[in-house]
Chains A and B, each alone.
Chain A
């Protein structure tokens, strides 16, 4: 059993070390794609996202209607199960894609769905847009990426509890309360520019009015039913988001400048792909974040000669992740180094040092060796 030898704090020791060795706002490896092909892949379109949004809201409406009609009978359970996953997992991917601005061609459509998704997820649209910007700049760079969901060694209890959205709700609820009060923590200020902060406060206060209205309705009805529709789905519908989100980076390298080393592409079933909006093509998404979700399968075909082989299933991904997390308890420097096919360009250690499993990040002399806990 080892303690972490890392400091993941955004203003902490390793944030400075990563900067000193050139891991911050750095140039990342990307596969060469001819410009004409890249333009075709990046091309925007409204059609796929309009279709998917109609399906999403249609399913949500049908499910919530069934849930309300059968409430409080147990027969309402399957309806809430479907509604919850759409509310708290499908909306996570809508938040993500619309935050990138690439889901729709028409800007107001992106922005409108982004606001709805943020509300469902209780993610402030300003702070989360900027934290995700940083995640793409410094993906899994210790001390800089605010979206590392499992630090080494992983807090397994936290990961398991969050299957029920607990930390999602607590973290975002706390941030929302802080913003309502006009307070933004210093760590958040590191990635949200001053000119954007007033918008974060305003939206948090609008949400406060909505949630107070829901609470008033619940008191008037003497029932938690209004919260089953707004708020509580984060508890009972986040599991799919967690299941897919864990696959993105866990167990892979930190402090590298090549998304093939720190991200994971997994083939998954069509229903999960709809919920996750194709983010299972995660290496491709990070390497070319402006390619819309609906073009990612095509991008995958274009670049897969240069990628580690994709996992064939969710089960296959977890068969890699779970042993990796276990090994990181013994040695936080351990990670899964993805092997490349013979057609791929090799990893370029000159970008980030010759990082090997079990060895400390080269150049980060400040990382003490992993120490055994007593």
Chain B
């Protein structure tokens, strides 16, 4: 699949997340405290709550409903009630744009 031009790098504050919808699917795009960008599935694996409304703390994204936490770099579930890992997608930055490799 071609890389998808998702947004400008300055569309996401450092240590923050935004929602990105593509086709019928929703994703979450992250800007880490050290300036890197990441992409995961948009909804929590516990219940259908969008992670873009949650809080980014270092490399963790916290679900805004139940405090489930994931490492958004790897998708690893880090705190109950989430038990299932989050899907992640490759990201690169080109000319100030965040590009995502989506299926």
Contact = CB atoms under 8 A, between A and B. Distances in A.
A27 B64 CA distance: 13
Most chain A C-beta atoms within 10 Å of own C-beta, residue among B47, B48, B55: B55
Nearest to A289: B65
A130 B47 CA distance: 13
Interface stretch (B24-32, B77-85, B95-103): B77-85
A290 B81 contact: no
A351 to B, nearest CB: 15
B65 A137 contact: yes
A193 interface: yes
Given A129-B80, A290-B62, A39 B55 contact: yes
Interface in B50-103: 53-55, 57, 62, 64-67, 69, 79-81, 83
A133 B66 contact: yes
B55 A290 contact: yes
Given A137-B47, A196-B83, 8 more contacts: A25-B48, A101-B79, A129-B80, A133-B81, A136-B66, A289-B67, A290-B55, A290-B62
A252 to B, nearest CB: 21
A130 B81 contact: yes
A289 B55 contact: no
A289 B66 contact: yes
Interface residues of A, number: 23
Interface of B: 16, 47-48, 53-55, 57, 62, 64-67, 69, 79-81, 83
B67 A100 contact: yes
17 contacts: A25-B47, A27-B48, A39-B55, A42-B55, A44-B55, A101-B62, A101-B79, A102-B67, A136-B65, A137-B47, A137-B65, A195-B83, A289-B66, A289-B67, A290-B54, A290-B62, A290-B67
Interface string A5-37: 000000000000000000001010000000100
A288 interface: yes
A137 B57 contact: no
Interface in A190-245: 193, 195-196
